[in-house]
Structure 1
């Protein structure tokens, strides 16, 4: 696993950036570059259940919240995948990456927020994450600065 890091400066409060990241309407906009129509369903509980799915809600990832302090950080631990509506957290395929983390850090200073994202990734997904987060961060910045 490699830790990929992304960062941007946003002329908005951490609360505004947080809302853009996790609001149902704006989440689908910035995650479009990973999977059009992406949906996040969560109970917002540490150790609870979070699902990241495609528009059909039949394929995606099973995760949990490792740590959360709104609006400063949110760290997901990925546990497995969903394929054709079936959750898999035990196969050899998912065991190679389950437990990987995806972290969002927001640091506000004088009304500007630095958004840092760190994600554990297999090298096979590096290009997808680079493309998705680079384009996604542009959307997050644009929506937050409105």
Structure 2
């Protein structure tokens, strides 16, 4: 009768977190609660995003003429109201940070080398920061009423020149 093959599995939260020679980035030297707060953020932001996204979809697709009414004037009219600017800004920030945190977790789980993990996360944070910056600027600097434009082309809510 053959003896069963024994597999060594590291004890969770132990100092020896290596399995098959791979050292995972889960050392006990970091004594902060970042991962707990990141986990909690994912849950809270996920619930808030459900409300924000379905509210966004309802207003854009179900009210008025639906998808056929979405054009430059529709977006300009929405973003002329500070309520919708704030709604879209919160949705942008929550979604980007939520997604970035999820990809950060995937990088931590699958990138084996510290150097690879560092560069992937650096690229991720730079890209996310750039998108947040540009998205925020677009929301707050968007002008649906350009000066000097043909009055027949500007939305009806713009003041006459």
TM-score bucket (shorter structure): under 0.3
Question: Higher helix share goes to which structure?
Answer: 2
Larger RCO: Structure 1 or Structure 2 (Cα < 8 Å, ≥ 6 residues apart)?
A: 1
Question: Higher strand share goes to which structure?
Answer: 1
Give the TM-score, by structure 2 length.
0.23
Give the TM-score, by structure 1 length.
0.25
